[in-house]
Amino acid sequence: MARQSPQRPDADEPELDDTTASTAADEVEVDRPAADRALWDELRIDPVEIALPAGTGFTLRAYRPARELTPTDVAERDEDDPFLARRQVVVSEDDEEVVILDEEFAALTAEEDEEADEEKRPGRRRRGKAEAAEDEADEAEDESDAAEAEADEDESDEDEDEDAAAGDEEVPVFLTHRGKLLLFKTPESLVSFIRSGAPNDLSQLDSWNELSERVEPADIAPLDEDTYELDLVVENLRGGHDAWDPTLLIEAGEVARDLAYALRLPAVLDMLSAGSSLDDLDEALRASVNGGIGGFLGRRRLKKIGAQTASLGWRTIVGKISAVVDWRD
């Protein structure tokens, strides 16, 4: 039996080698994000993907001047759990001591400590000369009241200027409602909600109505920089210093701060505030990814940060954020 020769492409059709095919595919990938981003860039809103221990969902985020936004209403959320945003657990790595911090409890404790210190001061019950000294101090106070009033006026003017500057600062706002973050498991369900006209905190934006008219499921394609894996943070920190992923942890800190501000979670903001242990971790991670002496010093600082303390702190943060998520199919 004669052996059939393999089929050859028609002479009129040019052959595509692997290089040409991959180049064509690359061109498609490069052109597509520009087309997908046109809507979001125009309306200044971004699709965001957040992974939490309970699952992964899509939502929206925008940045606007604070004076243009009405914060989300947390009254109903706080009625359900009045301690949700006011308690945090900190574990000391050295002695395994568990300390529960609460704003009211901390204030009460401070007052009790102050009273105890007053009682311990020598001569507290000896009034004679002390009363005379107090009278003289009262007279001095009266004389300085006028000067203080003038200073207060100057401070008031400064405060007004600071308030105006704070009002112009751009702050994050998410697709939230009554203190809950709305997360959608599919792009289709997110688009359906946007088109439904259901109440939410993003509807106060002047571009919201246009978004509801134009958005399609294919548009819900978050950029890599808008994709956050909060579900991996605690496990990564538990792996020890050598396993820490700077990009994962830095991006987690960025979205956690945004969510804490938008959702009005003061405890989370405090845990990530300047000077906190988790903020020190964030700064050391940022320094470590840089080259030169700065990167070297950053890596040295990371070695001094307790992995257990960091992982427990982040477990608290992820838990608090998860507690205020409203999952939508």
Task: Classify residue 259: in a domain, yes or no.
Answer: yes
**Adjacent-strand bridge partners of 131:** none
87, 137: one domain: no
Q: Which domain holds residue 141?
A: 131-163
Question: How far is residue 324's CA from residue 267's CA, in Å, rounded to a whole number?
Answer: 13
Give the chain's domain count.
Answer: 2
Q: Do residues 217 and 268 both lie within one domain?
A: yes
Same domain, 209 and 252: yes
Residues 146 and 267 in one domain: no
Question: What's residue 293's pLDDT?
Answer: 85
Cβ count within 10 A of residue 196: 10
Residues 151 and 294 in one domain: no
97 inside domain? yes
If you search the block for the tokens 């990371």, which residue do you land on?
302
CB atoms inside a 10 Å sphere around CB 69: 20
Best CA proximity match to 182, nearest among 167, 192, 171? 192
Q: What is the pLDDT along the chain (329 residues), one digit of tens a residue?
A: 444 444 444 444 444 444 444 444 444 444 444 446 999 999 999 999 999 999 999 999 999 999 999 999 999 887 765 444 444 444 444 443 334 444 543 444 355 445 444 443 444 333 444 444 555 556 656 666 656 666 666 666 565 556 556 668 999 999 999 999 999 999 999 999 999 999 999 999 999 999 999 999 999 999 999 999 999 999 999 999 999 999 999 999 999 999 999 999 999 999 999 999 999 999 999 999 887 888 888 888 999 999 999 999 999 999 999 999 999 98
Q: Are residues 72 and 197 in the same domain?
A: yes
What pLDDT score does 24 carry?
46
22 lies in a domain?
A: no
Q: Which residues contact 15 (CB under 8 A, 6 or more apart)?
A: 9
Q: Is 266 in the same domain as 320?
A: yes
Domain presence at residue 321: yes
Q: How far apart are CA 10 and CA 15, in angstroms?
A: 9
Triad 81, 85, 90: Cα angle to 5°: 120
Q: What is the pLDDT of residue 13?
A: 45
251 and 157 together in one domain: no
Which residue type sits at 60? L
Asked if residue 247 and residue 102 are part of one domain, the reply reads yes
3-state secondary structure the chain: CCCCCCCCCCCCCCCCCHHHHHHHHHHHHHHHHHHHHHHHHHHCCEEEEEEECCEEEEEEEEEEEHHHCCCCCCHHHHHHCCCCCCEEEEECCCCCCEEEEEHHHHHHHHHHHHHHHHHHCCCCCCCHHHHHHHHHHHHHHHHHHHHHHHHHHHHHHHHHHHHHHHHHCEEEEECEECCEEEEECCHHHHHHHHHHCCCCHHHHCCCHHHHHHHCCHHHCCCCHHHEEEHHHHHHHHHCCHHHCCHHHHHHHHHHHHHHHHHCCCHHHHHHCCCCCHHHHHHHHHHHHCCCHHHHHHHHHHHHCCCHHHHHHHHHHHHHHHHHCEEEEC
